[in-house]
Structure 1
Amino acid sequence: MRNHTLQDTVRASLLIRTVSEMTYSDPNEAFPLIDESISISRNEKWTKGEALGLRQKGNLYYVLGDNLNALDAYQKAVLLSKKISDKPLESSLLSNIGNIHADLKEYNRALENYRAYLNTARELGSRPDEIKALSNIAIVYNDSENFEEGISYLEKALELAKLENNDLFVAAITNNLALAQKKAGAHEKALVNYQKAADLAQQIGNKYIEASALNSIGEINALLHNFSVAETNADRALSISKEIGAVEWQADSWKVLSSAFENKGKLAEALYAYKEYITLRDSVLSEEKKSELTRKEMQFKMERQQAIAQEEIKRERLVKNGYLIGTLVLLIISALGYVFYKRRRDALEKKKTAEFNAKVAETELKALRSQMNPHFIFNSLNSISDFIARKDIKQADDYLVKFSKLTRSILENSEKKWIPLEEDLELMELYIQLEALRLEEKLTYTITIDESIETDNTLIPPFILQPFIENSIWHGIAPKNGLGQIDLSIKKAEDMLVCSVDDNGVGRLKNHGQTHKNNSFGLKITKNRIDIINHLKNTKGSLKLFDKNEGVRVEIRLPYEAQF
């Protein structure tokens, strides 16, 4: 490329090949080169070269996580490939577009593109492309929990991969087949296929597939109570995952090892493994939440872009009709003025709705992060460690069981907007019990429920009381001399649910201004959540704090919501 400076199709082709090699290693530096290639192709009227350049530019955006610009580049390339009737190029672009829709969980649109890719691959007799298309369709079905269809497509892809004698394809598809069988509950079949995938991956030196398969073998054996086998496979997977720097798989390995150690009575090793799992899992979850928020933002931008395009098409049609009907110019102008006003008003309403939904997602995410903060996890794990150091194994085991149950329940409920009151109270009681153990029985509590409330049928936003219980313990009772008491009460007042958290701690006034700073974050999040509930359900929920001579009382009013 350095030797060939002439601005012709040869240089354009060399630029595309160079960018292809830079896609994963140095994508940001590749953009000027691919732009030069596209410019040369247009000047030389080399349509295929322009399409190839746009496809490679889309690949750069996709690697950088910019799905919106990637989709735009791919769609422009599709139009050019259709213009020159290049079916193989069009087919590969449909696959790329399908990947973006799958990432955005737009499964129907992803399947539409993957099926078009599959049909073209069969028409052209390209077995590798047919295998990829079948695998992609299967993954979409499995992601949408239609495991029967997903397994069927994977079996077809596996049969073709074996005919192709492509060991990498066989290993990857076998691993995906085992994953679908595991999710469908067919553990014995899944174990057989995971072992095949692990063995073949080891033969061809693919450590990514091998680590994934070994982790899953360990996980299934732990479920089947084969803890020695689970430990062996998880240990091998951990070693490989560290070697390739796969953080998520390291977390999975430590989780399986923690379960295996605990059931074999190795409590100190189980605690260490669980600490490692928590640390790595929190890192993975943080990245996943960031990706989810980014996905929602991109989805909103795409919908807005599509809406603008549709509006533009409609506007052009109306203008053309206006030229044809000259005698009705004044009437058409009036009608168009009204239509444009209404569309602008509707667009503003849609924008407000999208912004409000984003606020809902952001507030729920903040509310989840405000629970089970790292300080609590750190102190809990240190308490367990202290029990073990004092050889109080029973107390350590009881604490670990309660702590595991609490963290698991919080993860299970993290995406739910409402849960039964009974479940939320169990979580709050378990949280208070853990803090009471940590404070060495310095804390007592009562929970009072109005007889008119059916706790298993009454719904409440998850963890809405937890920040105030935490504040009562940490900032009210912990610094108090003597026994602390928390009274939690739930009662019904007409169509509202009144929740009260009352403590006899040192109170906000005696904390020299520190409590206000610590409480403000939890208060702000809870007020936001109540405001959103009021907006969605047209109710008058509220949050009030009452300072007492001894302690603080918090009163939360929520709309009464029944499950049935």
Structure 2
Amino acid sequence: MPSPAKYLCLLLIGLCMSAFAYAQKQGQQKIDSLQRQLPLLTKDSDKVIALSHISFAYFPIDPSQGVTYGEQCLQLAKHIGFDKGEALAYNALGANYWAKRNFLKAQDYYLKALKINTRLKDKAQMARNIHNIADIYLRFDPNKALSYYQKAVAIAHEINDQEKVLGYQANISSVYQVQGNYPEALNYLQKSVDLARKLHRQRDVAAYESLMGIIEMEIGHYSQALQLTTDALAIFKQIAATNPAKDDIPRTLLNIAKIYGKKNDLKNALLYNQDAFRLFDQLPGNMGKDYAAECQNNIGQIYLDMVLRKTKPDTRYIQDTVLKSHLYQSEAAFRKSISISLLVKQWDALTIAQHGLVKVQKLLGQPYAALDTYEDYSNFKDSIYNAEMNKSIALHQMDFEYNQEKDSLNTLNKLQASKIQFLDQQRVLDHLKVKQQWLYFFLTLIIFCLIAFYFLYRYRLAQVRLNNDLHSEKINKQLQEAEYKKNMNQNTLATLISQMNPHFIFNALNTIQSYIYSDNKKLAGEYLGKFSDLTRKILDNSNKATISLAEELALLNLYLDIEKTRFGEELNIVLKVSPAIDPENFYIPPMLIQPFVENAIKHGLLHSSKEKQLRIEISVPNEIEDTLEIVIDDNGIGREQSRQLNSKRNGHRSFANDANEKRIDIINLHLETQKIALEIIDKKADDGSPLGTKVVLFIPNSLN
């Protein structure tokens, strides 16, 4: 979004555009009427005045046509020696070049008009010209603009023109806004509001209250700001029913959007910016395009802020679908602003849009596009456009003041007295100047070439470094992803082997065989069905990164049914899931619980001579939000005795725990905040005898 100073400069243009909107309503009718009367006029002076009115009426509609009529008016006024008409022509040309954003030419014509009106002592036109010059200075030198506005107000008071005093006081407020002197700005706007009420100009009351809302926003008084701007909007809508001004409502909507943006209410800020843009985009000509570009910049920044609020500061690429959608909408808005800004030569809005687009392209993973956009942004940002503008305007002002002084008799006498001395000195210096100019030319050329070569070298070196960094980063990322996938596949395979190990398969098949030999076909069929379902689910889930807790519990229940069939009444299993958990909406890595359950049965309970108890509890701990706590508790022989028994078996290897622990380590490497936690507790009695093993797993619901 634009800085407060730049934004408040545009507010003055907004005040002028209020007049433009009214002119657009009646301008074409006035132009048509004057064009019909023009051939009927017999006096050249009347034709000059008519041409100046036509030119001025064109500037909010078609400034190119306005320039054409203004030049015709100027030629005729000079031909007949009509000074007042010549001043009118200069003023109309200044207005049209102002509308075309050619501020240098506009100021040049306003200064020429002021020179003539000063000579004619036409104070009303002098105040008008000084005000127009101040409008241009507001963009580049607020202090000088304030001085000119104060001169215009003083002349308006002198001739008792209350309507001019009304507008000029509001313009002085704009200068104080740019300078950050908000109390003084509010003071002048309040004066304008009081005078507008006295003059029964309801529309001006609304316009100035809307500007007061912007000042209250800058101070931080958001409630007052919204009250003022919404009241102004209501007045404008009421006026629009009978006397519409096309830019009042969208400008007020934009002000309200600004206030919501300052309040960080992105939803309302977005809606009001979109409404304002739609209305500005419908305005004829280029008069609403500055604001239209600003609206698109605001929309792009809002969508970008929506993304940045939900990402970490070091995020480089956005993967989330919803956030990507916001980024694409932000990109479209910034590109729209760029196209509008280029059309109307609004460089401030253009650089803002380019800077925003660079951020969006980086987050979308488009480094080369971001680099190209950043180069365009740097070219405009580092441009000497404003510096040259300031210099040229200062030279114009010096030229005007010099010409005023030169026209006085005293200055002419001084110039005549020093002319002979000047000519003598000039002859002596001319020869030296020629040599000096050639020397300066060659030195400048050499320095320029050296500087150009230096910056070209630096630019090329930066490009090569950037390309190398991007290429290296891409390769490292690909290697990391490949290593991650390799480790995950290896550990998934190890877990699969641990779950479907030959010992378990042989035991299951032996059980089926015993049922067949005992002619218990029903049990054999049920057992075989469960065994095939378990095998299929394990194979299906082995290719998935995560599955729902419901799917994992279904697989676990199948496995436990098979084991209970083998052990019969010797094995007592309790599986308890907290009612606070929604198994369908909680995702965990597949085949993570079953290996620990298998170890509890195979290595703990199988060799126990007492009643075999296995308890599985799944709950949500109060102190850790959105996390599962899984407890697998058995009363078996414990891990130490199990290791001693396994060491006596030749070739025995245990995969389940090792594979699962490796899987957990690899998964945790790619989790940024909450990670999977595993704790294995050896339960012992007071005398040190084993009471079994307890496995505790903490799994966050952030893996999907």
| TM-score normalised by length of structure 2 | 0.45
Specify the SS of the correspondent of 1:125. Answer: coil
After superposition, residues 248-259 of structure 1 pair within 5 angstroms as 248-253=294-299, 255-256=301-302, 259=305
Shift of 1:10: 1.7
The structural deviation recorded for 1:479 is 6.5
Q: Which residue of 1 aligns with 2:51?
A: 15
Which of these residues, 179, 183, 202, is aligned with residue 148 of structure 1? 183
Q: C-alpha distance in 1, partners of 2:279/2:48?
A: 41
| Aligned residue in 1 for 2:192 | 157
> 1:214 matched to which residue of 2?
253
Tell me the distance in 1 between the aligned counterparts of 2:431 and 2:151.
37
Q: 2: CA distance between counterparts of 1:332 and 1:264? A: 75
Distance 1:473 1:198, change over 3 A: farther
Aligned alpha-carbon RMSD (Å): 4.7
Change (3 A) 1:5 1:127: closer
Q: Check whether the contact 1:8–1:44 (CA below 8 A) recurs between aligned residues.
A: yes
Give yes or no for the alignment of 1:279 onto 2:335. yes
Query: How far has the Cα of 1:179 moved from its partner?
Result: 1.5
> Aligned AA for 1:200?
I
Q: Which residue of 2 aligns with 1:425?
A: none
Describe how 1:316-465 pairs up with structure 2 within 5 A: 320-322=416-418, 333-334=424-425, 337=428
Equivalent AA in structure 2 for residue 472 of structure 1: N
The one-letter code sitting in structure 1 at the alignment partner of 2:227 is V
Distance 1:260 1:138 in 2: 34
Change (3 A) 1:17 1:62: same
Q: What corresponds to 1:522 in structure 2?
A: none
Secondary structure of 2:247's match?
helix
CA distance in 1, matches of 2:477, 2:386: 50
Relative to 1, partners in 2 of residues 1:138 and 1:270: Cα closer, same or farther, differing over 3 Å? same
Q: Which stretch of the first structure deviates more once superposed, 131-140 or 159-168?
A: 159-168
For residues 317 and 345 of structure 1, what CA distance do their matches in structure 2 show?
Answer: 33
Residue type of the partner of 1:177? M
Whether 2:206 is the aligned partner of 1:171: answer yes
**Distance in structure 2 (CA, Å) of the matches to 1:143 and 1:155:** 17
Q: Distance in 2 between matches of 1:84 and 1:311?
A: 18
Counterpart check, 1:184 vs 2:219: yes
The yes-or-no answer on 1:473 pairing with 2:453 is no
**Residue type of the alignment partner of 2:294:** E
Contact 1:255/1:273 (<8 A) preserved: no
- Please give the alpha-carbon distance, in whole angstroms, between the structure 2 residues aligned to 1:208 and 1:254: 22
Q: Please tell me whether residue 83 in structure 1 is matched to residue 119 in structure 2.
A: yes
Q: Kindly tell me: are residues 221 and 16 of structure 1, through their superposed partners in 2, closer, same or farther at Cα, counting changes over 3 Å?
A: closer
Q: Is the CA contact (8 Å cut-off) linking 1:135 and 1:173 kept in structure 2? A: yes
| Corresponding residue of 1:48 | 84
User: Deviation of residue 80 (structure 1)?
Assistant: 1.8
Q: Give the CA deviation at 1:51.
A: 1.6
C-alpha change, 1:216 and 1:254, in structure 2 (3 Å) is: farther
Check the 8 A contact 1:27/1:60 in 2, yes or no. Answer: yes
Residue number in structure 2 paired with 1:28: 64
Distance 1:220 1:34, change over 3 A: closer
- The residue identity in structure 2 corresponding to 1:67 is F
State how 1:490-501 maps to structure 2 within 5 Å.
none
Contact persistence 2:210–2:255 (CA under 8 A) = no
Question: How much does 1:216 deviate?
Answer: 4.0
Cα gap change, 1:35 to 1:251, in 2 (>3 Å): closer
The one-letter amino acid paired with 1:298 is: M
Measure, in 1, the Cα distance between the counterparts of 2:133 and 2:239. Answer: 30
Q: Answer whether contact 1:94 1:114 (CA < 8 A) is retained.
A: yes
Alpha-carbon distance between aligned partners in 1 of 2:461 and 2:335, rounded to the nearest angstrom: 26
For residue 653 of structure 2, what is the aligned residue in structure 1?
none
Residues 40 and 277 of structure 1, relative CA distance in 2, 3 Å threshold: closer
In structure 2, the CA distance between the partners of 1:31 and 1:340, relative to structure 1 (3 Å rule), is farther
Give the greater-gyration-radius structure (CA): 2
Q: Partners of 2:106 and 2:238 in 1: how far apart?
A: 36
| Structure-2 change in CA distance of 1:261 and 1:40 (3 Å) | same
Residue 88 of structure 1 deviates from its aligned partner by 0.9
| Alpha carbons of structure 1 residues 37 and 340: separation in structure 2 relative to 1, 3 Å | farther
> Cα gap change, 1:129/1:191 in structure 2, threshold over 3 Å: closer, same or farther?
same
Decide whether aligned partners of structure 1 residues 180 and 37 sit closer, same or farther in structure 2, where only a CA change above 3 A counts. Answer: same
Distance, in Å, in 2 between the alignment partners of 1:170 and 1:344 is 65
- Structure 1 unaligned blocks of 5 or more: 371-463, 485-564
- Using structure 1 for the length normalisation, give the TM-score: 0.55
Q: How much has 1:139 moved relative to structure 2?
A: 0.9
Distance in 1 of aligned mates of 2:111 and 2:122: 14
Q: Give the letter aligned to residue 330 of structure 2.
A: Y
Shift, 1:255, TM fit: 3.9
Q: How far apart, in 1, do the equivalents of 2:184 and 2:434 lie?
A: 42
Matched AA of 1:474: L
How big is the shift at 1:132? 1.0
Aligned twin of 1:448: none
Q: Once the 2 structures are TM-superposed, how far is the Cα of residue 136 of structure 1 from its aligned partner? A: 1.0
Among 81, 92, 95, the alignment partner of 2:131 is: 95
Amino acid at match of 1:9: S
Distance in 1 (CA, whole Å) between partners of 2:104 and 2:82 is 26
Amino acid at match of 2:228: N
Counterpart of 1:65 in 2: which secondary structure?
Answer: coil
AA at the equivalent of 1:249: C
The counterpart of 1:200, out of the listed 213, 222, 235, is 235
Whose relative contact order is higher, 1 or 2, with alpha carbons under 8 Å and at least 6 apart?
Answer: 2
Residue number in structure 1 paired with 2:109: 73
Which residue number corresponds to residue 59 of structure 1?
A: 95
Letter in 2 for 1:247: A
The one of 372, 375, 390 equivalent to 1:299 is 390
User: Structure 2: how far apart are the matches of 1:95 and 1:67?
Assistant: 14
Which position in structure 2 is the counterpart of 1:541?
Answer: none
CA distance in 2, matches of 1:321, 1:36: 40
> Displacement of 1:64 after TM fit?
2.1
**Corresponding residue SS for 1:135:** helix
Report if the CA contact (8 A) 2:213-2:226 is conserved: yes
- Whole-Å Cα distance in 2 between the matches of residues 215 and 309 of structure 1? 38
Give the whole-Å Cα distance in 1 for the aligned partners of 2:434 and 2:196: 52
How far is the alpha carbon of 1:219 from its aligned partner? 4.4
Preserved contact between residue 203 and residue 236 of structure 2 (Cα < 8 Å): yes
Asked if the contact 1:214–1:237 (Cα under 8 Å) also holds between the matched residues in 2, the reply is yes
CA contact (8 A) 2:193 2:208 kept: yes
In the alignment, the residues of structure 2 paired with residue 204 and residue 232 of structure 1 have an alpha-carbon distance, to the nearest angstrom, of 23
With over 3 angstroms needed to count, the CA separation of the structure-2 counterparts of 1:238 and 1:106, relative to structure 1, is closer
The C-alpha deviation readout for 1:252-285, integer Å capped at 9, x for no partner, is 2454466569879974664454334433455567
Q: Secondary structure at the match of 2:130?
A: helix
